Chains A and B, each alone.
Chain A
C-alpha cells in the first residue's frame, strides 16, 4: 500500500517509449510561462551573461544575535548570494524569548535569536530591502510584521519589499518546531498575515507552502506534495470564505519543496506540482488572473540526505540535487550545507553551497534552455504518474473530514512518525543505499576529510539572554501592557491581528509575550511550560 502510494524506483520501467505517454501539448504542457505551467511559470527572458534566468542564489543563514546575522548577510551578498534566507534559532522558531528557562542552551547556535521589533531592525541594517529578496524561516505572522517594521525604520517602502515567509499552519506542531499552539491559531496567523501582506506588502510572497518541513526525514515525494496541497487548499478556502478575491492573494503564493536523491522523480514532482496548482486554482478556486495560476517553486535540498560519515560526499549530493532543481526550473534554491548532518552550517560550508550553485548554473549551461527534459518519455510519464498519485492522495485525505481536526487529533503526526521510523529502517537494512553509511563504507580512522570543521562549535549566546532580561526589566510597561491588551481585543473580536502584532513590536512587547496572549485567546495557557507570566 505504502509502496503503491509513493513513486518507487523499483516500479519504473527499464526504458520508456512514445507509447509510455499520452500527452496533449497544449493541455498538459504548454510553453514555459504558459498554462498549465508544467514547464515553468515564466517565459524565458533574454539570456544574460552570468545571470541565468533571474535565479535567486542564497544560503540558509542566521546565527547569534541579530547583529551577527546581519554581518553574515553582508558576507553572503558580497560572495555572490542574490537573496537572503534567514532561519531563527530553536527558541525563536518555537515563539519563545531567549530568556525563557527552556531556551537557555539553545540561544543563537542554530539560527538567529529574534524576539522583538528592534531585532528585526538590527537584522536588516544596511540591507537594500527594496532590491534584495528576504526569505524567512521565522514564526508565522511575526516574520512579515518584523520585516514591515524594519523597512519602515530603514526608510524603505513596504510596497517594494520582496521575499517570502514560510507558513506551515497545519503541520508545524508535528514536523517543524512545536510551539504548543493550537492549529486554529497557526491558521489565524497564516491567513491574517497573507491578508495583511496582500494589502500592505503586495510584492512579498506572504504564503510559502513549505513541503520541506513536511517531508525531510520522513514521508516520500507523493505525501510531501499531497500534504502540502492539503494545507495550501485549506488556507485558500479560509481566505476565500472571508470574502477575499482569490486573485488578490494567489499571485503571491509560493512553494518551497524538498529535493532528495531520486533525481528524475524530484524533477517530475516539481513539474507535476506546477500543473496541479494551475488546474486547481483555475478550475476549483475560480482564479482568473494568469499570475494566480503560476506558482513559483523554490527548493531547499534535503538535510536528511546529508550524512555524518564521509561528509565530503555531501558536496556531491548537493551538486546532484542542484542539477535536478535547475532542470526542474525552480526559481530559487538553497543547498543544504555539507556539514548539515552534524552541525549548524559553518561559513566554509556556506561558501561551498554558493559555489556549487554558481558552478552548476554558470559553467554548465544548464540554465540556458527552459525545461530541457520536456518531452522526455520517461520524465513526462513520471510527471503524469506523480500528478495522479498526489491528486488521489489529496482526495483520500480530504474525504476523512476537517483537516484541522485531523491535525489536532494526531492523524498527520501518525503519518510522520511512521515514516520517520520506516526511513531509518530502510537505511539500516540497506533498502535505501547511502554511500559511506550502508555501502562503500570506510573505517572511522580514515574518515578524516573536513572533519576538523565539526569540532568548531557555535556557543550558545548567554550574553543575549542577559541582554534581553535587562531590556525586559527596563521597559516602560505601560505601552507594553496596552499593546498586548489591544492584540487580545483584535484576536477575540475576529479582526486581523497583524496590525496588533506590529504595534506590539513597536511598543516593545516581545514575541513570547504576544504569542502568550494569543494562546490565551484560544484557551491555552500563556506559557505552556508554566515558567513565565503575562505582564499586567
Chain B
C-alpha cells in the first residue's frame, strides 16, 4: 500500500441499523476536509468491521448509530480493533447517543463519542485527534 499522510477512515453502521443519512453526511464532511473515506455501509458486525479496518489500514473507524445495537456491540468492537497493530481507535456518534450512553460506550473501550449536538468542527477534530495518536506523522 502506498504510504499516505492523509487521514484514512472507515465509516459504517452496525448490525441491522438501516439509517445511513448520518454515516453518509459524515463521510462527505471528512472527504471535503481532505480525508480518504472508505464507506462500508450497512450489515456490518464487529468482526467484519475489524477485518476491513485492518485490511485497509485505516487510522480511525467511525460508527454512525441510530439504533441501540451500538451499546451491545461496543465492547466487542473495541476488543477486536484493539488487537490491530497499532490499535485502531473508534469514534461513535449518532442521534440516539445520550449523555448516559456516552459514559457507557467509553467505559466499554470506545475511544471517543460525539453527541447529536456536536458541531462539524468537533467531529472532524475528533477524527484527527484519534488518528494522530495512532500515526503521529499526520
Interface residues of A (CB under 8 A from B): 90-91, 93-94, 96, 102-106, 109-110, 176-178, 217-218, 304, 308-309, 341-343, 417, 420-421, 423-425, 428, 444, 454-455, 457-458, 460, 529
Contacts and interface: CB of A to CB of B under 8 A. Distances in A.
Secondary structure type dominating chain B contacts = loop
B6 interface: no
B98 A454 contact: yes
Given A91-B16, A308-B116, A417 B98 contact: no
B91 to A, nearest CB: 17
Contacts of A93: 18
Interface stretch (B65-73, B80-88, B105-113): B65-73
Nearest to A421: B28
Contacts of B15: 102, 105-106
B113 to A, nearest CB: 14
Interface residues of B, number: 27
B51 interface: no
8 contacts: A94-B16, A103-B16, A106-B15, A308-B95, A342-B98, A421-B24, A421-B28, A423-B21
A119 B110 CA distance: 38
Contacts of A444: 117
A176 B18 contact: yes
Given A176-B18, A417-B24, 12 more contacts: A90-B16, A94-B16, A103-B16, A105-B69, A106-B15, A342-B116, A343-B96, A420-B20, A421-B25, A424-B25, A460-B72, A529-B43
Contacts of A458: 68
Nearest to B19: A217
B92 to A, nearest CB: 14
B8 to A, nearest CB: 20
B67 A106 contact: yes
Contact of A177 (B18, B21, B96): B18
Nearest to B42: A178
A455 B21 contact: no
Q: Indicate the member of A93, A308, A341 with the most B CB atoms within 10 Å.
A: A308
Q: Indicate the member of B43, B68, B98 with the most A CB atoms within 10 Å.
A: B68
B21 A106 contact: no
A102 B16 contact: yes
A455 B28 CA distance: 30
A309 B117 contact: yes
5 nearest A-B residue pairs (beta carbon): A424-B25, A105-B72, A90-B16, A420-B21, A105-B69
Nearest to B115: A444
Contacts of B117: 308-309, 444
A90 B96 CA distance: 16
Contacts of B57: none
